[in-house]
């Protein structure tokens, strides 16, 4: 037994000496090592030897190898490249020594495989112990090393397109910046050596993976910013992907050159990640510019298509929704932006976002705040209708010419797949389940604008007001253009809705014919000739919207001419007569002063003011107001026009005189137009009040028969009986309540117990 124990001790000493390369042990020959291994195997001491070996290795790593490795980076006098290279070489030498010891452990465990579990444990110890806590400057040093290698790669012509970036293969653009002799070849050789040694250590990804990724990402970001920022008219995705393959992936292949066993796998793993990062970075850049891209659409359509491609590969849809919604709210939805500009941007958004997302979900989600804001602006409908019928080419007028019927939201109650059921795909997950995909995809721009309000009556009424205003301010009998617009609008809104507008245009044509007949009758002495020639626009009052009212009494001569025209009309039309609106219309006047003649087209009110100044050169506002039966405030506003023409002058407060001469100014004949063009129609508020007064007669009838009714019942009955017809817009419950409350204040209604009663009918 003593002999066996002595043999075991000798074998143990031989094995431990062979497995201690850092403790100055003598070289153990195979003649000594072989019997010792056999004896250790005989007594099954292999696991004990392996455990002791790994523990010793861990101590050596902590106490000697790791400190020596990190201390080598503290010497800043040495070149970074040489410093990193020598440190990695020393670390690799240490690993080679332990790999020899690892082979001995493998022999003891009878596996004989150098890549056994013992070797993997040794490599894991090297990685975990040495790089358990890296100094802050190490990652920076590695990043500088690989950045320098990247510059060398570019300057040495490794990059096929380096000349496009300004790099020259004839001179070194890396070393000349430091004022030193070119060291590129030395850097290249040490660079490949470091990569090979790190690969042998199994540390290539651990040490340089992050730096390589950062360099690639930085180059991609810089290239996208330099190449694509602010340019929306060119598609860049294919160009960027080619650039990525040639420059960035080419750089990766060069990094892993010499590491043959892992090169292909590493490059391929980087390849897919970099393509995804390229798409993500490009999409992020375009998302930040998306508002400008939308404004410049359709010229910016290539950028939209690129972004669409990137969104299919990345998860940036929610980022796009948030970013674009914020951009629209910040840059559009505030009082400083004109309604027309908001509409222009909204129309561009509709067109651009339908290219980006044909399902219409992005458009629906992003533009909802825009729709709400436009709904609350008083002039939105007028701007839309004006754009539809304005001269020249515009977004809405071009849409109107397409002659498509309106598609309102309520037209779609189910998601009818139709004939393209084989091509059907579900909506995105962020789509509103309460709305159908068919309405999102099929609605045109005009339909979407009408759907802001959900009712086409509002637009028809506004067009009716606009048409009336246009006719009564231009006083032109040429209605060819207006008839064309009307026919196009009929295709959109229906003939019944626009019947009143058709009658209005017919009135214009009839007025021209009536004026022609009266002129012939005067020439033939059938009717008397008026002193001042009159051409009238004869309107069917029940078909026209409410006119702007303005009190005025015309001079006797002017009123006499109108009366003469009325008699001629009665002679021509029999039992029909005329009710004049003397504040509307145009008069052609020629003003003769001492030093000049002026010819103007002005309103009858302006002409009347000047008429009285030919009778007396000085008038006060109060005197002139009494003669014209006109309020002083309105009269002062009208006189301002003549002041601007240099014909009247305010000599004292509210006292005006006629200027027969203008010193220093001499004109023979001046022909100008009246700058002050007022709408001939009543304001929308006045017209709405008039409509509500129509409802009042219905309300009185209801309460007379039923005595008392709650607000909701009154509204439902009005909706059934009164809110009908092409010229009547629906009255909301809050608007009806405000109207009824005004009647309560006027003591025409009594509100008690949640119901309304007529005053004096069941009220206490």
Query: Comparing 249-263, 369-383, 636-650, 652-666, which segment has the lowest mean pLDDT?
Result: 249-263
Q: Band the pLDDT of 124: cuts 50, 70, 90.
A: confident
Strand partners, 669: 597
| Rg (alpha carbons) of the chain, rounded to whole number | 46
Asked if residue 287 lies in contact with residue 320, where contact means CB atoms within 8 angstroms, the answer is yes
What is residue 230's predicted lDDT score, i.e. its pLDDT?
Answer: 87
Highest mean pLDDT among 414-418, 535-539, 592-596: 535-539
**Structure confidence at residue 24 as a pLDDT band (50, 70, 90):** very low
Supply the pTM of this predicted model: 0.68
Residues 6 or more apart whose CB falls under 8 angstroms from that of 161 comprise 243, 246, 247
**pLDDT tens by residue, 554-590:** 888 888 888 888 888 888 887 888 888 888 888 888 8
Q: Mind listing the pLDDT tens digit for each residue in 49-59?
A: 777 777 777 77
For residues 402-407, average pLDDT? 63
* CB-CB contact of 550 with 521 (8 Å): no
Ranges 358-367, 415-424, 670-679, most confident: 358-367
pLDDT at 63: 72
Mean pLDDT, residues 516-531 taken together: 77
Position 324 scores a pLDDT of 94
The pLDDT tens digits of the residues spanning 334-352 come to: 888 998 899 999 999 999 9
Residues contacting residue 754 through CB under 8 Å, at least 6 positions apart: 710
pLDDT at position 287, please?
94
Q: pLDDT confidence of 289, banded at 50, 70, 90?
A: very high
Q: Above 90 in pLDDT, residue 90?
A: no
pLDDT at 208 over 60: yes
For residue 169, is pLDDT > 50? no
User: What is the band of 144 on the pLDDT scale with cuts at 50, 70, 90?
Assistant: confident
Angle at CA of residue 575, ends 571 and 581, nearest 5°: 80
pLDDT at site 661 = 80
With cut-offs at 50, 70 and 90, classify the pLDDT of residue 157: low
Predicted pLDDT at 734: 80
Report pLDDT for 282.
94
- Indicate the pLDDT class of residue 296, thresholds 50, 70 and 90: very high
How confident is the model over 656-710, as pLDDT tens digits? 998 888 765 544 444 444 444 555 555 555 556 666 777 788 888 888 888 888 8
- The reported pLDDT for the residue numbered 300 is 92
Quote the CA–CA distance of 544 and 531 in Å, as a whole number. 30
pLDDT for residue 328:
92
- Distance (Å, rounded) from C-alpha 233 to C-alpha 126? 54
Nearest to 320 by CA among 363, 359, 358: 363
* pLDDT at site 703: 87
Is 382 in contact with 462 (CB distance < 8 Å)?
Answer: yes
| Range of 168-182, 225-239, 417-431, 491-505 with top mean pLDDT | 225-239
State the pLDDT at residue 737.
85
Name the band, by pLDDT with cuts 50, 70 and 90, for residue 115.
very low
Select the highest-mean-pLDDT range: 27-31, 284-288, 673-677: 284-288
pLDDT of residue 62: 75
3-state secondary structure at position 254: helix
Note the residue count of the chain. Answer: 764
pLDDT value at 306 more than 90? yes
- DSSP string for 40-108: HHHTT-HHHHHHHHHHHHHHHIIIIIHHHHHHTTS-TTS-HHHHHHHHHHHHHHHHHHHHHHHHHHHHH
∠ CA 171-174-179, nearest 5°, is 85
Averaged pLDDT, 38-63? 72
End-to-end CA distance of the chain: 127
In angstroms, what CA-CA distances link 668 with 3, 383, 595, 597, 627? 144, 41, 8, 6, 32
Report, as an integer, the average pLDDT of 296-310.
Answer: 92
Which has more confidence, 105 or 499?
499
- Each residue's pLDDT tens digit, 70-82: 766 655 444 556 6
- What's residue 676's pLDDT? 45
Q: What is the pLDDT of residues 469-511, one digit of tens each?
A: 888 877 777 888 888 888 888 888 888 888 888 999 999 899 8
What pLDDT sits at residue 582?
82
For residues 199 and 254, is the Cβ–Cβ distance under 8 A? no
pLDDT over 70, % of the chain: 66
pLDDT band at residue 295 under the 50/70/90 scheme: very high
Convert 168-191 to b/e letters by CB count within 10 Å (16 or more is b).
Answer: eeeebbbbeeeeeeebbeebbebb
pLDDT of residue 278: 92
Kind plus residue range of the DSSP H or E element containing 702: helix 684-706
Question: Does residue 454 or residue 217 have the better pLDDT?
Answer: 217
Query: CB–CB of 384/396 below 8 Å?
Result: yes
- How far is the C-alpha of 558 from the C-alpha of 563, rounded, in Å? 9
3-state secondary structure of 393: coil
Question: Average per-residue pLDDT in the chain?
Answer: 76
Residue 403 has pLDDT above 70, yes or no: no
In this structure, what is the dihedral angle of CA atoms 485, 486, 489, 494, given to the nearest 10 degrees?
Answer: -170
Specify the higher pLDDT residue, 60 or 544.
544
């Amino acid at each position: 037994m003593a002999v066996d124990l002595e043999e075991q001790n000798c074998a143990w000493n031989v094995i431990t000496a062979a497995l201690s390369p850092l403790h100055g042990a003598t070289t153990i020959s195979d003649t000594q090592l072989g019997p010792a291994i056999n004896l250790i195997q005989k007594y099954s001491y292999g696991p004990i030897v392996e455990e002791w070996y790994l523990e010793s290795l861990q101590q050596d790593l902590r106490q000697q190898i790791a400190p020596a490795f990190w201390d080598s980076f503290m010497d800043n006098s040495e070149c970074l490249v040489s410093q990193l290279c020598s440190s990695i070489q020393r670390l690799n030498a240490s690993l080679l020594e332990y790999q020899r010891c690892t082979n001995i452990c493998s022999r003891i465990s009878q596996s004989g495989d150098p890549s056994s579990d013992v070797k993997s444990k040794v490599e894991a110890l090297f990685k975990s112990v040495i790089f358990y806590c890296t100094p802050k400057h190490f990652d920076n040093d590695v990043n500088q090393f690989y950045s320098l290698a990247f510059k060398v790669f570019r300057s040495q012509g490794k990059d096929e397109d380096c000349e496009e970036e300004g790099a020259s293969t004839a001179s070194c653009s890396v070393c000349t910046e430091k004022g030193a002799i070119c060291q590129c070849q030395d850097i290249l050789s040490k660079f490949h050596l470091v990569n090979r040694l790190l690969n042998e250590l199994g540390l290539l990804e651990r040490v340089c993976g992050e730096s390589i990724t950062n360099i690639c990402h930085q180059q991609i970001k810089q290239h996208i910013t330099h190449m694509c920022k602010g340019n929306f008219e060119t598609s860049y995705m294919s160009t960027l992907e080619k650039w990525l393959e040639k420059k960035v992936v080419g750089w990766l292949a060069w990094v892993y050159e010499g590491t043959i066993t892992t090169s292909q796998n590493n490059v391929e793993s980087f390849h897919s990640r970099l393509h995804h990062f390229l798409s993500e970075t490009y999409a992020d850049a375009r998302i930040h510019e998306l508002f400008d891209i939308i404004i410049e659409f359709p010229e910016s359509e290539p950028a939209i298509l690129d972004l669409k491609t990137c969104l299919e590969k990345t998860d940036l849809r929610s980022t796009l929704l948030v970013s674009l919604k914020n951009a629209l709210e910040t840059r559009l939805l505030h009082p400083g932006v004109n309604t027309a500009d908001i509409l222009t941007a909204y129309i561009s958004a509709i067109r651009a976002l339908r290219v980006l997302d044909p399902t219409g979900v992005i458009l629906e989600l992003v533009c909802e705040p825009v729709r709400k804001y436009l709904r609350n602006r008083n002039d939105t409908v007028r701007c839309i209708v004006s754009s539809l019928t304005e001269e020249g080419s515009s977004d809405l007028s071009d849409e109107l010419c397409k002659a498509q019927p309106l598609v309102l939201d309520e037209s779609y109650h189910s998601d009818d797949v139709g004939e393209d059921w084989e091509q059907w795909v579900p909506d995105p997950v962020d789509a509103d389940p309460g709305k159908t995909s068919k309405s999102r995809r099929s609605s045109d721009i005009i339909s979407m604008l009408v759907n802001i309000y959900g009712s086409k009556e509002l637009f028809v009424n506004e067009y009716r007001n606009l048409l009336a205003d246009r006719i009564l301010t231009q006083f032109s009998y040429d209605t060819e253009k207006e008839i064309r617009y009307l026919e196009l609008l009929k295709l959109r809104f229906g003939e019944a809705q626009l019947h009143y507008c058709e009658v209005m245009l017919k009135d214009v044509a009839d007025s021209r014919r009536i004026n022609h007949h009266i002129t012939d009758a005067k020439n033939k002495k059938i009717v008397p000739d008026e002193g001042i020639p009159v051409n009238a626009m004869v309107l069917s009052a029940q078909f026209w919207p409410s006119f702007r009212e303005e009190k005025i009494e015309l001079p006797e001569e002017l009123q006499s001419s109108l009366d003469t025209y009325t008699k001629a009309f009665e002679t021509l039309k029999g039992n029909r007569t005329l009710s004049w609106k003397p504040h509307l219309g145009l008069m052609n006047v020629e003003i003769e002063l001492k030093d000049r003649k002026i010819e103007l087209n002005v309103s009858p009110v302006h002409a009347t003011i000047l008429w009285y100044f030919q009778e007396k050169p000085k008038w006060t506002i109060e005197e002139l107001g009494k003669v014209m039966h006109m309020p002083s405030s309105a009269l002062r506003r009208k006189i301002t026009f003549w002041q601007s023409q240099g014909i009247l002058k305010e000599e004292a407060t509210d006292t005006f005189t006629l200027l027969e001469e203008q010193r220093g100014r001499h004109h023979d004949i001046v022909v100008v137009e009246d700058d002050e063009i007022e709408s001939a129609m009543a304001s929308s508020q006045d017209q709405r009040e008039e409509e509500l007064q129509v409802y009042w007669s219905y309300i009185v009838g209801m309460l007379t028969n039923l005595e008392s009714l709650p607000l909701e019942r009154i509204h439902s009955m009005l909706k059934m009986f009164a809110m009908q017809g092409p010229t009547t817009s629906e009255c909301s419950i809050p608007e009806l309540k405000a109207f009824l409350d005004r009647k309560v204040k006027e003591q025409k209604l009594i509100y008690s117990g949640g119901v309304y009663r007529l005053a004096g009918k069941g009220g206490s």
